[in-house]
Structure 1
Amino acid sequence: MPDIRVKICGITRPEDVDACASGGATYLGFNFFPKSPRYVAPDSAAALALRAPVGLAKVALVVDADDATLDEIVADVALDMIQLHGRESPERVAQVRARYGLPVMKAIGIAEAADLAKIDSYAPVADQLLIDAKPPKDAVLPGGNGLAFDWRLLQGRKYWQKPWMLAGGLTPENAAEAVRLTGARQVDVASGVESAPGVKDAALIRRFVAAARGEA
């Protein structure tokens, strides 16, 4: 099996950076959405990013952020990628990519087959795609709700000619099955490796990475 890349999202503490590094993660996600229990301020994220070893990619998760907000984040934090997790249009994705010169990953919520059509609008302008579970209508958070969608919706698809990442309700218990059903080569987890919201568990991170890579 090809190596599966793992993104651990919602990093808030130095020990969580260390756990991701030692546990075999590929990406660290910093959540800059103020309503999230995993929110981290840019100055705190800057110190966490500097703690990460070379080769561990740092990703900024933002939700419908304006240029002023992004300017502050990009100026303060040593980043490798921006993740747009709101209702950003394809045009906005292209603007962010051009303005900051960083790769952009666009999150797209999926609940039913009809939602897959949205992916075709974003694939030409994003560097990567994050295929996530669509949040409930009354949800405060656009992601990180611990919800999965029907992974069979992705079976047999050719995946839009861009690198993509599977998210939504992934845990150490179901990661291997999710990879098997979807053919994902990248997976994203937040709540599935936490002992409390925003508090990562080093043992769960190790178990998740091993499960995703078929090593468990």
Structure 2
Amino acid sequence: MPDIRVKICGLRSLGDVAAVAATKAAYAGFVFFPKSPRHLTIPQARALTLAAPVGLAKVALLVDADDALLDAITEAMPLDMLQLHGHETPERVAEIRARYGLPVMKAVGVTDEGDLAAVFEYSLAADQILVDAKPPKTSALPGGNGLSFDWRLVAQRRWLKPWMLAGGLSPQNVAEAIRLTNARQVDVSSGVESSHGVKDPSKISAFVQAATQDGPPILR
């Protein structure tokens, strides 16, 4: 079975970084969005990214960020990828990718089959696509709401670029989500927290083990 690449998003402390580094996770996500309980200031994020070990990809999550904020973040810390989680157009995605010379992942919210056209459209501009549950209209957060969507919508789909499954994943359901969708990458934030915005090292470990099947056999 191909390796599954795991992203743990919303890290807020050196302990979070250490917990992720102790697993086989491939990506560590750092949130720059003031409305999120996982938001980091630039100095906070710099300390965490510098503590991340070589080989753990450092991803900055941004929501409709302007060039001034992107300049400040990319100049202050080592990053491996930018994740755009707002209303950025494909043209804006391509512009950011060219300006900063970093791979760009674009999040696309999904609730029904009609939303999948955007995955193709953004895959023409981005390096990767994050297929996430579309947030409720009343939510202030574009992601990290702990909501899932009908995984059958993306089952066995193939797009132009690598894609990552997100939305409502947890240690309990990630293996089934991978089985149903054939996703090769998965992303989690609230599903490995003990409370809103507070990561739980045991849940991080359990999630990565379940996703990568690095542990007891998973019964199906």
- TM-score past 0.5 threshold: yes
Distance in structure 1 (CA, Å) of the matches to 2:195 and 2:82: 25
Deviation digits for residues 60-88 of structure 1, max 9, x if unmatched?
Answer: 00000000011111111210000000000
Matches within 5 A, 1:162-177: 162-177=161-176
- Taking the aligned partners of 2:73 and 2:160, their CA distance within structure 1 comes to 29
The structural deviation recorded for 1:199 is 1.6
> TM-score scaled to structure 2, two decimals?
0.96
Distance in 1, matches of 2:178 and 2:156, equals 13
In structure 1, distance between residues paired with 2:155 and 2:26: 24
Give the deviation of 1:214 after TM superposition. 2.4
> Paired residue for 1:182?
181
Q: Are the equivalent residues in 2 in contact too, given 1:23–1:202 (CA < 8 A)?
A: no
Match for residue 156 of structure 2? 156
Equivalent residue letter for 1:169: G
Does the CA contact (< 8 Å) of 1:165 and 1:184 recur in 2? yes
1:120 positional shift: 1.4
**Corresponding position of 1:94:** 94
**Structure 2, unaligned stretches of length 5 or more?**
none
Equivalence for 1:59: 59
Between the aligned partners of 1:9 and 1:197, the Cα distance in structure 2 is 13
- Is the Cα contact below 8 Å between 1:61 and 1:82 reproduced in 2? yes
Q: Which residues of structure 1 form unaligned runs of 5+?
A: none
Q: How is 1:114-125 mapped onto 2 (pairs within 5 angstroms)?
A: 114-125=114-125
Q: Is the 8 A contact 2:120 2:160 kept in 1?
A: no
1:1-216 paired onto structure 2 within 5 Å: 1-158=1-158, 160-215=159-214, 216=216
TM-score by length of 1: 0.98
Q: Secondary structure of the equivalent of 2:74?
A: helix
CA deviations 1:70-116 (Å, max 9, x no partner) are: 11111112100000000000000000001100000000000001100
RMSD: 0.8
Secondary structure at the aligned position of 1:61 is classed as: strand
- Note the C-alpha offset of 1:198: 2.1
Taking the aligned partners of 1:58 and 1:70, their CA distance within structure 2 comes to 15
